């Protein structure tokens, strides 16, 4: 079988024989991971509710999003996105969360590891130096009590 390369390894292995050296971006190798944690008290928020959950700097690359709840969300769905950019599920598609006390990893291939290049303030809609990530509920109201934690891991250097 022939050896093949990931995009990143192809860049590194191409740095031979007089080729102009290319370096990987910090989001591909060597970047320091940082985190942002959001706590949401479940209080029967209606379907269609929007809850700001994180402020990430421009050029941050998300490497992980985990949900953790102490209460099943039953049929209610939650998605993560940017309400001012017109994509309420750009970071995580709408999903139900029924596993209790079990970290659940979510995210989309298109935005996982990709630097955020434009961001919006959730209050004003202005483009600023950060991206406000907003959770949007769907299908049904959230439970009347309980807690939901969302953990974002990202790289920026």
43 and 17, same domain (yes or no): no
- Integer Rg of the chain from CA: 18
**Containing structural domain, residue 96:** 32-155
| pLDDT above 80: residue 69 | yes
106 lies in the same domain as 70: yes
Q: Distance between alpha carbon 43 and the CA centroid of its chain, in Å?
A: 23
Q: Identify the pLDDT of residue 13.
A: 77
Same domain as 55, residue 22 = no
What's the pLDDT score for residue 152? 98
Residues 9 and 74 in one domain: no
| Average pLDDT along the chain | 92
pLDDT at 14: 73
pLDDT digits (tens, 9 = 90+) for 107-135: 999 999 999 999 999 999 999 899 999 99
| CA dist., res. 98 & res. 77, Å (int) | 10
CATH number, domain with residue 50 = 2.60.120
Indicate the number of domains in the chain. Answer: 2
Answer for the pair 51, 135: CB distance below 8 angstroms, yes or no.
Answer: yes
Pair 26, 38 in one domain:
no
Higher pLDDT, 142 or 84: 142
- The pTM for the full model equals 0.86
Identify any residues that bridge with 154 across adjacent strands, giving them in sequence order. 34, 62
Mean per-residue pLDDT, 98-114: 96
CA 66 to chain centre: 9
Confidence at 18, pLDDT banded by 50, 70, 90: low
Same domain, 108 and 149: yes
Residues in the chain: 157
Buried b (16+ CB within 10 A) or exposed e, 94-117: bbebeeeeeeeebbbeebebebbe
């Amino acid at each position: 079988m022939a050896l093949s390369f990931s995009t990143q390894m192809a860049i590194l292995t191409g740095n031979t024989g007089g080729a102009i050296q290319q370096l990987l971006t910090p989001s591909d190798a060597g970047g320091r991971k940082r985190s942002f944690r959001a706590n949401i008290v479940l209080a029967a928020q209606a379907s269609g509710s929007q809850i700001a959950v994180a402020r990430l700097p421009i050029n941050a690359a998300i490497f992980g999003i985990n949900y953790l709840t102490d209460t099943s969300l039953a049929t209610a769905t939650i998605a993560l996105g940017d309400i001012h950019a017109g994509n309420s599920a750009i970071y995580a598609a709408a999903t139900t969360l029924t596993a209790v006390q079990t970290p659940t990893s979510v995210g989309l291939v298109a935005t996982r590891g990709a630097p955020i290049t434009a961001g919006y303030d959730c209050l004003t809609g202005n483009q600023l130096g950060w991206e406000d990530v907003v959770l949007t509920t769907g299908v049904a109201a959230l439970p009347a009590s309980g807690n939901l934690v969302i953990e974002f891991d990202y790289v920026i250097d």
